[in-house]
C-alpha cells in the first residue's frame, strides 16, 4: 500500500478537521472522529505529521484552526463531512483557513462530497474533493500537492481547473480491510472520547470492523457510497483491535461503528468464539437487522450475549407493513414481533429505531408506527426505542431519486442549503403542511417514550426535577395518544427550543470539566 514505505525526510504537516455533527453532548455521544483517525493513521505511516482538530471537543474551533496554520503551513487542510449540520462547521473552518492563508488547499471528503461532488466542489471554500474511501487517495494527493504536481491523474479526486470542475479516474474500494493499519490513537486526546453505554452507563469506545452493507434499503446512503458491497476485517483483527482498546484504555464497553456487522454470519461466530476464549467480560453495542436474528435460534442469541453483544441497535423503520415493502426493508412486522419476544427472554437490551414522514405517508400510517413502538416496549420491558426520526431524503439514496422524479421535490444545490438537512429537522417538501407539522410533533414527543433514554441526558444536579417533569408529561402523552388528539400542542416548539439550549449548555459544561489542551 502507498503508506507502506520507508521515508527518511520530513514530509510536512497535514491538518484534518472534524466539525460538529449536531446533537453532540460531550461525555455522552461524542465518539472517536474515526474518519480523521483512519486518514491520519495512513498519512502518519506514509511519513507526514498529522494534527486533528475536532470541533466537538474544543471551545475555540476557529482559533484552533487558525493557530495550527500560523504555527506551520500544512500541505493541505482536510474537512470531513456528512450531509447535514456537519457542513456548517466545515464551512466555518474553511473560512478561518481562508483568512489566514487564502492559497492553502482545502480538501473536502466524506459522505456528502462523495454523493454531491459538483455542489461541493463549485463552492469557493473548496479546492479539491476526495470521493469514497480516502486512505489511499489522500496520501497520493498529499504527495502530489507537496511536490507541486497535477491532481488530475489521481483516482478518486475532484478539482477545479480554469474554473471548470474536473474529476480523476474512479478509485476502487479497498478489498481487504486488514491492510488498513489500526488507528494511531495518540493522534488525539483519548480521554475526550469516552461515550456511555445506554443500558449500563459504562464508559465505552468505538471500533470499526466492516464497511458497507449488502442490502438495498431505499433510504440508505450505502447503495451508492459503498456500492452495496460488504467488506470486513478478519475475526482475528477485530478481536485484536477490541483487546487493544481494553488493555490500553481500560474500557469495558465497546460500540461497533459498522453499517452492518452481521454481513458474514460465520465471521460473527468466529468473533464470538475468540471473545469467549479471551474472557474479556465486555458489553458490546452493535447495529443489527431483524432478518439476521429471525434466522437464528435462541442458542445463537445466547452465544452473542455471552461473548458480550448485550446491546443490539435494530432499525425497524416503520409500523406499516406496506411501508416496509416499499422501502425494501425485507422483513415483516410479525418477524419483528417474534424477534422481540426472543430478545425479551434473553439478557440482551434492544434499542429500536423508527422513522416518520416518508413520501405519501399519512397521519394514520404515522400512528401505526407509534402504536408499534409502544407494542414492542410493552412486550419487552428490556427494550428501548429511539425517538422517531424524521425521514430525510439524503442524496445518493433511492428514495431521494424518487422524491425528485416522482414527487417533483427540489433539493439544495449549495453546501449552505444541505447544511440544514438533518434527521431531527423536517425538510420534506413532499409532505402536506398538516402532515409535516404532525410528523414534527411525533418526532418531538417520541423523545419521551423511553424513560431510560431521557434519564441518560439528565445526569446532572437537575436530574430529580427533570425526571419528575418527565413522569408527568409521559402520562399526559399517553392520554393524547389514546384519544388521538394532537391539534393543540403548544409545548412542541418550546420543547425543541429548550432541547437545543439544554444540549448546548450541557455539552459546554461537560467539556469545561476537561483540562484545556495547550493552545486552546
Per-residue pLDDT of the chain (520 residues; tens, 9 = 90+): 999 998 888 999 999 999 999 878 888 889 999 999 999 999 999 999 999 999 999 999 999 999 999 999 999 999 999 999 999 999 999 999 999 999 999 999 999 999 999 999 999 999 999 999 999 999 999 999 999 999 999 999 999 999 899 999 999 999 999 999 999 999 999 999 999 887 788 899 999 999 999 999 999 999 999 999 999 999 999 999 999 999 999 999 999 999 999 999 999 999 999 999 999 999 999 999 999 999 988 899 999 999 999 999 999 999 999 999 999 999 999 999 999 999 999 999 999 999 999 999 999 999 999 999 999 999 999 899 999 999 999 999 999 999 999 988 889 999 999 998 876 678 788 899 999 999 999 999 999 998 887 887 676 677 888 899 999 999 999 999 999 999 999 999 999 998 888 888 878 888 887 654 433 3
Distances from the Cα of 396 to the Cα of 117, 264, 274, 452, angstroms: 11, 25, 37, 34
Q: Cα(344)–Cα(338) distance, rounded to whole angstroms?
A: 10
Give the model's pLDDT for residue 454: 81
CA-closest candidate to residue 88, choices 175, 3, 17: 17
Residues in the chain: 520
CATH number of 180-424: 3.80.30.20
| Distance from C-alpha of 454 to C-alpha of 447, rounded to nearest angstrom | 7
Report pLDDT for 87. Answer: 97
Which residue, chain included where needed, has cell 486488514? Answer: 178
* Strand residues in 111-236 grouped as ranges (E): 128-130, 157-161, 164-167, 195-196, 203-207, 210-211, 231-232
Cα 53 to its chain centre, rounded Å, is 18
301 CB-side CA count, 13 A: 23
Non-local (6+) Cβ contacts of 135 within 8 A are 3, 38, 39, 42, 174, 180
Output the pTM of the full model.
Answer: 0.93
In DSSP terms, 352 is beta-bridged to: 314, 385
In CATH terms, is domain 13-167 a member of 1.20.1440.120? no
SS3 of 220-257: the string is: CCHHHHCCCCCEECCHHHHHHHHHHHHHHHCCCEEEEC
Q: Find cell 422517531 and name the residue.
A: 388
Predicted confidence at residue 460, as pLDDT, reads 67
Q: Which sequence spans correspond to the domains of the chain? A: 13-167, 180-424
Coil, strand, or helix at residue 180? coil
Mark out the alpha helices in 280-362 (DSSP H runs): 290-294, 298-307, 321-326, 333-344
SS3 50: strand
What is the C-alpha to C-alpha distance for residues 479 and 476, in angstroms, rounded to an integer?
A: 5
φ, ψ at 77 (rounded to 5°) = -115, 120
Residue with cell 431521494: 400
Amino acid at each position: 500500500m502507498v503508506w507502506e514505505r520507508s521515508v527518511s525526510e520530513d514530509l510536512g504537516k497535514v491538518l484534518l478537521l472534524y466539525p460538529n455533527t449536531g446533537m453532540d453532548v460531550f461525555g455522552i455521544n461524542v465518539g472517536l472522529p474515526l474518519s480523521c483517525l483512519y486518514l491520519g493513521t495512513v498519512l502518519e505511516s506514509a511519513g507526514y505529521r498529522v494534527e486533528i482538530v475536532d470541533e466537538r471537543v474544543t471551545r475555540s474551533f476557529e482559533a484552533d484552526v487558525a493557530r495550527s496554520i500560523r504555527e506551520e503551513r500544512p500541505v493541505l487542510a482536510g474537512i470531513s463531512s456528512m450531509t447535514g449540520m456537519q457542513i456548517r462547521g466545515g464551512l466555518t473552518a474553511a473560512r478561518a483557513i481562508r483568512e489566514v492563508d487564502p492559497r492553502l488547499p482545502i480538501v473536502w471528503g466524506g459522505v456528502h462530497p462523495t454523493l454531491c461532488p459538483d455542489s461541493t466542489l463549485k463552492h469557493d471554500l473548496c479546492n479539491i474533493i476526495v470521493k469514497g474511501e480516502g486512505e489511499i487517495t489522500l496520501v497520493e494527493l498529499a504527495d502530489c500537492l507537496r511536490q507541486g504536481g497535477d491532481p488530475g491523474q489521481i483516482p478518486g479526486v475532484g478539482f477545479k481547473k480554469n474554473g471548470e470542475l474536473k474529476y480523476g479516474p474512479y478509485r476502487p474500494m479497498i478489498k481487504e480491510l486488514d491492510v488498513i493499519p489500526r488507528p494511531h490513537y495518540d493522534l488525539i486526546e483519548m480521554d475526550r472520547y469516552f461515550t456511555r453505554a445506554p443500558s449500563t452507563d459504562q464508559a465505552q469506545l468505538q471500533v470499526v470492523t466492516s464497511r458497507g452493507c449488502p442490502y438495498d434499503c431505499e433510504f440508505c446512503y450505502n447503495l451508492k457510497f459503498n456500492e452495496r458491497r460488504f467488506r470486513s476485517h478478519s475475526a482475528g483483527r477485530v478481536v485484536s483491535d477490541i483487546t487493544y482498546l481494553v488493555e490500553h484504555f481500560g474500557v469495558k464497553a465497546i460500540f461497533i461503528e459498522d453499517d452492518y456487522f452481521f454481513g458474514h454470519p460465520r465471521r460473527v461466530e468466529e468473533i464470538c468464539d475468540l471473545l469467549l476464549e479471551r474472557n474479556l467480560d465486555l458489553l458490546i453495542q452493535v447495529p443489527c437487522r431483524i432478518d439476521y436474528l429471525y434466522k437464528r435460534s435462541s442458542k445463537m442469541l445466547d452465544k452473542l450475549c455471552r461473548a458480550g453483544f448485550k446491546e443490539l441497535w435494530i432499525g425497524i423503520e416503520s409500523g406499516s407493513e406496506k411501508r416496509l415493502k416499499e422501502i425494501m426493508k425485507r422483513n415483516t412486522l410479525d418477524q419483528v414481533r417474534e424477534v422481540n419476544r426472543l430478545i425479551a427472554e434473553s439478557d440482551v437490551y434492544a434499542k429500536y429505531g423508527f422513522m416518520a414522514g416518508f413520501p405519501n405517508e399519512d397521519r394514520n400510517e404515522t400512528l401505526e408506527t407509534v402504536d408499534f413502538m409502544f407494542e414492542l416496549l410493552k412486550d419487552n420491558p428490556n427494550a428501548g426505542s429511539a425517538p422517531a426520526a424524521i425521514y430525510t431524503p439524503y442524496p445518493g439514496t433511492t428514495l431521494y431519486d424518487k422524491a425528485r422524479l416522482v414527487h417533483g421535490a427540489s433539493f439544495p444545490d449549495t453546501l449552505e442549503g444541505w447544511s440544514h438537512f438533518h434527521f431531527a429537522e423536517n425538510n420534506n417538501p413532499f409532505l402536506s403542511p398538516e402532515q409535516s407539522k404532525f410528523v414534527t410533533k411525533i418526532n418531538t414527543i417520541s423523545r419521551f417514550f423511553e424513560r431510560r433514554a431521557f434519564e441518560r441526558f439528565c445526569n446532572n444536579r437537575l436530574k430529580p426535577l427533570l425526571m419528575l417533569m418527565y413522569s408527568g408529561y409521559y402520562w399526559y402523552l399517553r392520554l393524547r395518544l389514546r384519544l388521538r388528539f394532537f391539534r393543540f400542542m403548544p409545548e412542541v416548539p418550546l420543547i425543541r427550543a429548550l432541547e437545543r439550549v439544554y444540549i448546548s449548555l450541557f455539552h459546554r459544561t461537560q467539556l469545561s470539566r476537561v483540562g484545556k489542551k495547550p493552545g486552546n
